[in-house]
Structure 1
């Protein structure tokens, strides 16, 4: 989290938004009520002037409605093009136009606020703003949900509530409040279940943005945050099942899930199962990204650490192999002076020291003498790795030219 104060973006320099704000101040009565209240249909016949005035008002108010539809389409396109900041600005415009068109107490305005909150979370990564707008929308949506008569309207409101509670849950999770996160995500799960029941045999709203997989993963992470390990694992297993059913068993979506499941199994001290999950993640990375990609390098580091955590002597040689593979892959993919390369080398150095490789040096000196190539090679590796460790503690990205090439050459030898 950044230390600077949170700032809600303003739109004071946008003439179109200025127009929307100006019009919203004039439109105190929601559009769907305004025409009838200004021009009552009962009692007496309308004059020609009254009819023309009524038509003029309707034409005037059709502009924000048309702009709202255009803005919603533009938002979808911007998200597709990964123009996140512009998409978030367009979501703000949707809220303004919804307020003008329907009135700020209407559920459609609250729906637009829920979408804006979700946008702040997923497009901008700003949980504080996301929570603010989600809370603003909550009471209105809950009130309308209780008195809806149309199934179509109820589906849209349930869809918005899923998005709202998911946003609140993940926002709390990002701020390290596990209990609040789990509480809100449970509400999202209940509303999604109700929505699926209502949609059975029918069509769900096209605006549904929170997938069952996203919600399941979030519930797994929230369960882990409150140390309910068995529940967390059950949610992740369900998420894996959803992904395999929709995308197959060789998709990159599974890599993160397997890595998080391995973390849970390590906490449960099931090290063999953790290694198995990480082997699956590593295998997918190789098939999708090749052996010398950053993704495969990261998977190799995690595998090396998993083997060391088992504490079994039979795993030590395998751990060393994966440490070296990770360093080699990082160096090829990112360069010898990249931060991730240096961190992998530092992890390897710490592992060498922890596992008595420096004792190893003394034995080689006794057996072969201090000038033997094996003794000198081991000593050079330890010296260089120690320098890397000391340097990366002070600065991660600076390095002496040529140093890392020599480290990797010694390791390969």
Structure 2
């Protein structure tokens, strides 16, 4: 079972962050911010004011950003519940600006707000580069404050922020395909979480990063550095914790079973992988019904797992689960990349098992149904597969016609200089030469017979 590639969105700039970071780049202390707030609050100082009076006015004016901070934190929670991720992230930016005004840029609470913002960029916006930048900015301040004399309550909050910070860094590195760096930072998050539990009676409190989140991330990082047994142990731990918390039938287990099955396949334990995927499929059916995108995907994964085992007794199961997946997608009217990929994977398996005619029929019916829509690359692959089938059957002329259509679509989708277009063009040239040679031989044989 091949893992799907992770798309990492990036942005060249972030106007919201650029605006707020313009303030953060200025080297000013809280007292200077307070002076600015005097103007905002329309607090005017006369020559007769004493220092005590000024401090009193400062306290009054500082109440404004504190109120705004509380409002922003509350609004953030509401936006998260409403799944308005971009707006929620903007509130985190607001929280950071206000924390900097209230506490100063060297205070751990300002670094805590910046760590939360980094986590927001990762989980709400899907921007690992920005998340990494802000997490790294917060790290030195949090580590410095960790060594200072602080109350138990403050130490708990600092450790909680360190968990968020290192989890964000680790996951961002993982999304950018740097497994070693990801693992190092996630282990630091694990260490901080253990310290937090020690001073908090075995609890991590209301930390945004749960033990399950961290365990899964460590499993993925272990897999990225090819430590299969360690990755397996982390996923087994995550599955166990979910079962204890929510039972054997919770839909949270679906993704975990699918990921641990991939690990077992890499370890060549195909039967164990099939068992995990059977569990995922059963939960999908009970949670979402047999005709659902989730069940269609689980059925396709199960079909591929049976196929990867290479066991002859699993041939019927491969066909059954592929057909279930394709039927579910078709009933749903799905035209997405996954459904088309499933059809092609089934056809590839059919060809490998000598069922060329059935594969050709399925590909042709898919083309005629108009299922492909705007998926030009999938149309090209279908023409290529159909051409390959015809070539295997010795139908050169038909194969050439299909490969021409494939090349035409590839040039439209990728351009004439793309490697796929070039490879198809080379194959097409070889087939045309073979066809020409065959016609010449047939012409010579025909002349001899007529003579």
TM interval, shorter chain, is 0.7 to 0.9
- The whole-number CA distance in structure 2 between the counterparts of 1:328 and 1:128 is 40
Hey, what's the Cα distance between the residues in 2 that align with 1:52 and 1:3? 52
Q: Does 1:330 align with 2:312?
A: no
Q: Secondary structure at the match of 1:117?
A: helix
Q: Within 1, Cα distance between the matches of 2:321 and 2:120?
A: 39
Structure 2 vs 1, CA of residues 224 and 85 (structure 1 numbering), >3 Å: closer, same or farther? same
User: What is the SS of the residue equivalent to 2:16?
Assistant: coil
Aligned to 1:318: 317
Relative distance call for 1:121 and 1:30 in structure 2 (3 A) is farther
Structure 1: how far apart are the matches of 2:271 and 2:296? Answer: 21
SS at match of 1:147: coil
Q: Which residue of 1 aligns with 2:59?
A: 58
Deviation at 1:25, TM superposition (A): 6.6
Runs of 5+ consecutive residues of structure 1 not aligned to the other structure: 35-46, 362-377, 399-413
CA contact (8 A) 2:8 2:176 kept: no
For 2:16, the equivalent position in structure 1 comes to 10
- The separation in 1 between residues aligned to 2:174 and 2:267, in whole angstroms, is 22
Aligned to 1:233: 232
In the alignment, is the contact (CA less than 8 A) between 1:30 and 1:102 conserved in 2? no
Deviation at 1:110, TM superposition (A): 0.3
Measure, in 1, the Cα distance between the counterparts of 2:293 and 2:271: 25
Contact 1:172 1:178 in 2 (8 A): yes
Contact 1:252–1:284, Cα closer than 8 Å, also in 2 = yes
Where in structure 2 are the equivalents of 1:176-325 lying within 5 Å?
Answer: 176-200=177-201, 205-206=205-206, 208-325=207-324
Instruction: Tell me, in whole angstroms, the C-alpha distance in 1 between the residues paired with 2:302 and 2:119.
Output: 35
Alpha carbons of 1:189 and 1:330: their partners in 2 closer, same or farther (altered >3 Å)? same
Aligned residues of 1:300 and 1:323 also touching (Cα < 8 A) = yes
- Alpha-carbon distance in 2 for matches of 1:215, 1:329: 34
Query: Structure 1 CA distance, aligned partners of 2:81 and 2:376?
Result: 41
Aligned residues: 360
Partner Cα distance (1:159, 1:379) in 2: 55
- Report the TM-score when normalising by structure 2: 0.73
Q: Quote the Cα distance in structure 2 between the aligned partners of 1:99 and 1:265.
A: 48
Does the 8 Å CA contact 1:339/1:397 hold for their aligned counterparts? Answer: no
1 CA distance for matches of 2:187 and 2:69? 32
Gaps of 5+ in 2: 1-6, 36-47, 381-451
Equivalent residues in 2 for 1:11-410, closer than 5 Å: 21=23, 28-29=29-30, 49-200=50-201, 205-206=205-206, 208-335=207-334, 337-358=335-356, 378=358, 381=361, 384=364, 394-396=376-378
- Give the Cα–Cα distance (whole angstroms) in 1 for the partners of residues 359 and 99 of structure 2: 70
Q: Secondary structure at the match of 1:328?
A: helix
Q: State the 1:33 CA deviation.
A: 11
The 1:83–1:89 alpha-carbon spacing in structure 2 relative to 1, beyond 3 Å, is same
Q: Check conservation: 1:110, 1:137, Cα contact below 8 A.
A: yes
Structure 1 Cα separation of the partners of residues 122 and 33 of structure 2? 32
Change (3 A) 1:138 1:65: same
Runs of 4+ in 1 over 3 A off after TM superposition: 1-5, 24-27, 29-34, 47-53, 203-206, 385-388, 391-398
Structure 2 CA distance for partners of 1:3 and 1:95, relative to 1, 3 Å: closer
- 1:379 shift after superposition: 8.2
CA distance in 1, matches of 2:176, 2:271: 32
In the alignment, the residues of structure 1 paired with residue 171 and residue 281 of structure 2 have an alpha-carbon distance, to the nearest angstrom, of: 27
Displacement of 1:6 in angstroms is 2.7
Deviations along 1:301-348, one digit per CA (max 9) or x if unpaired, are: 00000001001000011110001000001111234x443332221111
SS of the aligned residue for 2:272 comes to: helix
Following superposition, the deviation at residue 245 of structure 1 comes to 1.2
1:146-201 per-residue CA deviation (whole Å, 9 max, x = no partner) reads 11331101000000000000000000000000000000000000000000011017
Secondary structure of 2:15's match?
A: coil
Q: Normalization by structure 1: what TM-score?
A: 0.80
Give the drift of 1:62. Answer: 1.2
